[in-house]
Amino acid sequence: MTTQTIERAAAPRAWSLPRGRQLAIAGAIAALLAAAWPWTAGQFVLHLAILACINIVIVNGLSLIDRCGQLSFGHSAPVALGAYGSVLFSTLFGFGTITAAALSLVAGALLAGALGWVILRLRGVYFVLVTFAFAELVRLVLLDAASVTGGANGIAAIPPLSIGGFAFDSRERFYALALALAVASVGFMVWFFARPLGRAMTAVAANPALAESTGLNVQRLQVVAYIGGSMLAALGGVLTARYVGFISPESFGTSASVAFITMLVIGGRKSLFGPMLGALVLTPLPELFRGAVQTQHIFYGAALILILRFLPGGIAGLLSLRAARGVGR
Amino acid sequence: MDWHLLMGQATVNGLIVGLLYLLMAVGFTLVFGVMRMVNFAHGEFYMLGAFAAYFFTTRLGMAFLPAVALSFVAAIVVGSLLEWCILKPFRKDELNGMIVTIGLAMILQNVALMSFGPDPVSMPSIASGATTLLGITVANSRVYVVGFAVVVLLLLYAFLRHSRGGRALRAVVEDSETAAVQGVRARIYYPLGFGIGVGLAAIGGALMAPLFSVSPFMGQTPLLKAFMVVILGGLGSIPGAAIAGLSLGLLESYSTLFLSTSTADMLIFLLVMVGMLAFPRGLIGRGEA
Amino acid sequence: MNRMTRSALGAMVLGAFTLHAAAQETVKVGALVTLSGPGAAWGQAMKNAAELAADKVNAAGGLEVGGRKYRVEIVAYDDKYQAGEAVTVANRLVFEDKVKYIIGPTGSAPTLAVQPITEKNQVITSTLGFTNKAMGAEKPFSFRPVVTTYEFSEPQISWMVRTLGVRKAGGLFPNDESGQVIARDLEAAYKKNGAELAVKEFFERDRVDFVPLITRMLSRGIDTIELDGNSPGTAGLITKQARELGFKGRIVRTGGPATAELVTVAGKEAAEGMIVHAVIDPGLKTTVAYVDAYTAKYKNAPNGFSPSYYDFTNMLFEAMRRAGTVTDSSKVRIELEKIADFPGVLGKLNWTGKSNYGVDHQLAVPFYVAEIKNGVEVIRARCTVVEGCN
């Protein structure tokens, strides 16, 4: 019997790691640098970065709902409710900014639950149309209840978020908060869709009838997804209100809902990083095009069509972020 | 103004607006029935029809009716081409098809913006003055528009009921699989169905152009109304769209009389949502859930 | 020295010469205006006015301030009449383009939204918005070059009640900040003169079908339809539809120059006899010269708000000259406030407004009451903010 000594491999050096690992580490470093860059690049870049992070949170919410098989065409409604809710809870009832934000999330969740329980019986295009109608209804109510919401004039001079005495009143500070929440939302999505509940939702999206027959309660799962998605959207709304310092119903209309869908689709509906990529690419794009607004929109429209036709995975598909695709889609 | 006259005036106003909604909604539901596609670009075809009519009458000096007819034909051709080139892969794919039409809408609206600028332009009226019958005054231009619209609808009805093409189209709307088995060729009827659907929207736009001003943004509201009408009438049901269109017009007219416009708008949205939930097949029935 | 150093030195010297020769520094003036959608007519008029003023000064070799000559550059962005967009544009103008002077914003809501940024960064703004919250002692850098309903409605309505016997008016207004403020100011002005704004209907800005609203209004027995507050196109539509419904009474527009667009949309017949607020006196040579220059460059007539912005931009230049700086906006602001009897294309201009706003940042431009005859404004009365209409 020959024994072969097992050769002791030397401790692996970084550059001799398998290629996938190398890419991942390089990617992570690049991402860290990119995330840190706005702090050094001036106020306007910080402004865009903050808006991009807020959009990441909101579009992740849309993605959550989408991954359970329903596409909401009224995603601007929970954003609006979160924004107005957090402001009104402060001004009308005197709650602190963080408490008001938390309350508006809770209220948003309850509302979404009630609404979802009713409208999620509908499928496909019907659900789309009803969410569209609901978003318009919300906008009209906000417009009309002028004594409370300020109507078309909106609410101005909204004080910044503050915890204890620490106020998020500068762009640098707010970016830190927005970045943290954006990263957290992506992390949440990755974590959630690896869990049993997330996998159940993915199954529902893939084939509701089949999922139902295996014992999953499709409606209940969709309501849960809808509540989660709405809460993320509401969080985005809170951040918007506290950052911009001004809210009015016109920023929460159909064009906003369409913008979120555009970000989701162009980023990639299949990948869990799709919302992040879509938001990162599309938020600063208007600034490149400013002065040629029509060209910008034509570009969006063409991009939507081309991506759906040739690149259903969106930008994420292009970058082959397969690892985070989730089961079954 | 005493109540009878007011109600009468409101009824006439409501029917006129309802006729417009009807045109939009029938076209919209036709597209859905044929291709299971919610066409978010429908409002943009309404807008393009209006611009076409504007262009033909003011720049080329055509009379109104021929301009409308030409707009219709142009819309059918353009619509069919777009369907064949862009929408073909998404036939029957509800959600993706819908998103593609969103993209199409963005392109169409911004092409119009680039070509015509953002300011509303005005078409000369086709008739001046007003007629007063039984105390109710209607602008002559509106009388003509109603007349033309009714003619269009009668022609559509005749086409769908009595011509081979129309019957084939209805068959596809009702049950495309059986229609295919019967030999109705998808290659022709999908583009045709889309073309006629958006052609109706274009006629709506062309007819309304002299009444309201023409701008690249004018398609948003009619699209919204089309949504509401087909929700009420049932997606895919042409009679449903017709009845619901007129009803919505009347409802809006009456509610504006008694309530402020914003309350009226909200009420109608609420009704639409409730209607959709209580009657998924449409209040008139015959749509599909 | 070796070749590299020599050529580098040569390049530097050459470069220094070229730089000095083209040593024109630039002063950037931002334009935060509505260039699309409703309100685009106003925004275009504002931007073009600033550009014309800049062209004139640049053609003369540049703006001479503190012994140096500056080329004036207008940096314009579209805010789409939306507050959210305006905030992003303001961020860009203030932090990226680093402007200290802004023409605009066009709308009231965008103005209120951007003021926290512009005031904090000492950027002078010149709003078109009619809200009375746009100016105040706590907003030292906010100015308004156009007169608003508050300034002209009372004298104008007083004249209408006196001369035309207007008693019961009804108005349709867009449901936003401008519309609501205007409705309120008009109601007060009518009341003060013994007449009544009996009906106030509010509608969504992109509405095109006013027949139901007009029907409702007419049922209340009004003798006059008031069009102030609406964009020119909308005003035209309301006029057209009201006449089509058989309304034979007076149609007036107590504010916001819009005649050219209005006549185009409503048609000469429907617009005949309308009483409007005019800012351009065809008898005043300087104004006519401006209109001609504008039409020559931009191929269509300017909206009536344009001359005010031309004059304001020139006042801004004058303030910079007097302050001796283009970068210190605090000094420029103080000089701007001190300007009196400025010879503008609209006439002699002064600041007013302290009694209403707390500061004299409202430009007192003369205005006129005109009647539309055959599509053209014919002046019936001349007015000033201080003295009223004769």
Nearest CA in chain C to A244: C87
Do A125 and B235 make contact, defined as CB atoms within 8 angstroms? yes
The closest CB to that of A44, out of C91, C113, C175, belongs to: C91
For residue C91, give every residue at least 6 positions away whose Cβ sits within 8 Å of its Cβ, in sequence order, or none.
A43, A44, A47, C117
Residue C97 within a domain: yes
Which band of pLDDT confidence, cut at 50, 70 and 90, is reported for residue B283? low
For residue C173, give every residue at least 6 positions away whose Cβ sits within 8 Å of its Cβ, in sequence order, or none.
C179, C180, C182, C183, C200, C201, C202, C203, C229, C230
If one counts the domains in chain B, the total is 1
Q: What is the ipTM of this complex?
A: 0.80
Question: In percent, how much of chain A has pLDDT > 90?
Answer: 36
Q: From the candidates B220, B269, B281, which should be mutated to test the interface with A, based on the most A CB atoms within 10 A?
A: B269
Q: What is the DSSP letter of B136?
A: E
Domain limits for position C330: 12-147+283-359
SS3 content of chain C, % helix, strand, coil (to 5): 45, 25, 30
Look at residue B52 in the predicted model and tell me its pLDDT. 93
Q: Which residues of B touch A129 (CB under 8 A)?
A: 38, 227, 231, 276
Look at residue A184 in the predicted model and tell me its pLDDT. 95
> How do beta strands C388-389 and C376-384 pair?
antiparallel
Q: Give dist(CA C333, CA C312) in Å, integer.
A: 12
The pair phi, psi for residue C104, each rounded to 5°, is 115, -170
Are C252 and C224 in contact by the 8 Å Cβ rule? The answer is: yes
Do A301 and B262 make contact, defined as CB atoms within 8 angstroms? no
Residue B256 within a domain: yes
Which band of pLDDT confidence, cut at 50, 70 and 90, is reported for residue B225? confident
Question: Sign of the CA dihedral A85, A88, A90, A94?
Answer: negative
Q: Is B90 on the interface with A (CB under 8 A)?
A: yes
Confidence check: pLDDT of A55 > 90: yes
Confidence check: pLDDT of A210 > 80: yes
Look at residue C2 in the predicted model and tell me its pLDDT. 59
Q: Is A119 on the interface with B (CB under 8 A)?
A: yes
Q: Is C212 on the interface with B (CB under 8 A)?
A: yes
Chain C adjacent subunits, 3+ CB pairs under 8 A: A, B
> How do beta strands C275-278 and C367-373 pair?
antiparallel
Q: Is B107 on the interface with A (CB under 8 A)?
A: yes
In B16-169, DSSP assigns E strands to 130-133, 136-139
Using the CB atoms, write b or e for B38-59: b if 16+ within 10 Å: bbbbbbbbbbbbbbbbbbbbee
Residue B115 within a domain: yes
Look at residue C15 in the predicted model and tell me its pLDDT. 45
> What SS3 class is residue C347?
strand
Residue B287 within a domain: no
- For residues C74 and C215, membership in a common domain is answered with no
Look at residue C133 in the predicted model and tell me its pLDDT. 85
Q: Is A289 on the interface with C (CB under 8 A)?
A: no
pLDDT per position as a tens digit, A123-164: 777 888 888 888 988 988 888 887 888 877 788 778 888 887
Look at residue C93 in the predicted model and tell me its pLDDT. 92
The closest CB to that of A153, out of C36, C77, C109, belongs to: C109
Are C337 and C349 in contact by the 8 Å Cβ rule? The answer is: no
- For residues C303 and C251, membership in a common domain is answered with no
pLDDT per position as a tens digit, A75-110: 999 999 999 999 999 988 888 889 999 999 999 999
Residue B73 within a domain: yes
- For residues C375 and C238, membership in a common domain is answered with yes
Q: From the candidates B125, B213, B251, which should be mutated to test the interface with C, based on the most C CB atoms within 10 A?
A: B213
Q: State how far residue B177 is from chain C, nearest Cα, in angstroms.
A: 42
Do A308 and B269 make contact, defined as CB atoms within 8 angstroms? no
Residue B283 within a domain: no
Q: What is the dihedral of CA C352, C356, C357, C362, to 10 degrees?
A: -30
Residue C1 within a domain: no
For residue A4, give every residue at least 6 positions away whose Cβ sits within 8 Å of its Cβ, in sequence order, or none.
none
Which positions 228-247 of A are in contact with C (Cβ < 8 Å)?
244-246
- For residues C35 and C77, membership in a common domain is answered with yes
- For residues C141 and C288, membership in a common domain is answered with yes
Global pTM reads: 0.81
Q: State how far residue A168 is from chain C, nearest Cα, in angstroms.
A: 16
SS3 content of chain B, % helix, strand, coil (to 5): 75, 5, 20
Confidence check: pLDDT of A12 > 60: no
The closest CB to that of A130, out of B94, B98, B276, belongs to: B276
Provide the residue type at A114 as one letter: A
Residue C4 within a domain: no
Look at residue C20 in the predicted model and tell me its pLDDT. 44
Confidence check: pLDDT of A248 > 80: yes
Look at residue C300 in the predicted model and tell me its pLDDT. 79
Residue B285 within a domain: no
Domain limits for position B94: 3-278
Confidence check: pLDDT of A18 > 50: yes
Q: What is the DSSP letter of C172?
A: E
- For residues C227 and C376, membership in a common domain is answered with yes
- For residues C64 and C114, membership in a common domain is answered with yes
| CATH code, domain with C312 | 3.40.50.2300
**CA A249 vs CA A30, A215, C110, C321: distances in Å:** 38, 42, 13, 43
- For residues C79 and C124, membership in a common domain is answered with yes
Confidence check: pLDDT of B1 > 60: no
Which positions 132-171 of C are in contact with A (Cβ < 8 Å)?
none
The closest CB to that of B261, out of C213, C215, C237, belongs to: C213
Do B139 and C241 make contact, defined as CB atoms within 8 angstroms? yes
Look at residue A328 in the predicted model and tell me its pLDDT. 40
Do B269 and A258 make contact, defined as CB atoms within 8 angstroms? no
Q: What is the mean pLDDT of each run of 10 residues along chain C (390 residues)?
A: 52 47 78 82 91 94 90 90 84 91 91 90 92 89 90 87 89 83 88 90 80 84 89 86 85 82 83 87 88 89 88 94 92 93 91 88 90 87 83
Q: State how far residue C26 is from chain A, nearest Cα, in angstroms.
A: 21
Least reliable range by pLDDT among A173-177, A184-188, C217-221, C326-330: C217-221
Q: Is A172 on the interface with C (CB under 8 A)?
A: no
Q: Give dist(CA A197, CA A188) in Å, integer.
A: 13
Residue C71 within a domain: yes
- For residues C216 and C180, membership in a common domain is answered with yes
Which positions 5-64 of C are in contact with B (Cβ < 8 Å)?
35-37, 40-41
If one counts the domains in chain C, the total is 2
The closest CB to that of A290, out of C77, C116, C176, belongs to: C77
> How do beta strands C101-103 and B130-133 pair?
unpaired
- Over chain A, what is the mean pLDDT? 85
Q: Give dist(CA B46, CA B214) in Å, integer.
A: 10
- For residues C44 and C75, membership in a common domain is answered with yes
Residue B284 within a domain: no
Q: Is B220 on the interface with A (CB under 8 A)?
A: yes
Q: State how far residue A161 is from chain C, nearest Cα, in angstroms.
A: 17
Q: Is A136 on the interface with B (CB under 8 A)?
A: yes
For residue C69, give every residue at least 6 positions away whose Cβ sits within 8 Å of its Cβ, in sequence order, or none.
C24, C61, C62, C63
Angle (CA) B135 B137 B142, round 5°: 150
Confidence check: pLDDT of A74 > 50: yes
Residue B289 within a domain: no
For residue C160, give every residue at least 6 positions away whose Cβ sits within 8 Å of its Cβ, in sequence order, or none.
C166, C252, C254, C275, C369
- For residues C133 and C23, membership in a common domain is answered with yes
- For residues C103 and C247, membership in a common domain is answered with no
The pair phi, psi for residue C305, each rounded to 5°, is -75, -15
| CATH code, domain with B229 | 1.10.3470
Tell which residue, B44, B35, B47, has the closest CA to residue B176. B35
Q: State how far residue C60 is from chain B, nearest Cα, in angstroms.
A: 33
Q: Is A44 on the interface with C (CB under 8 A)?
A: yes
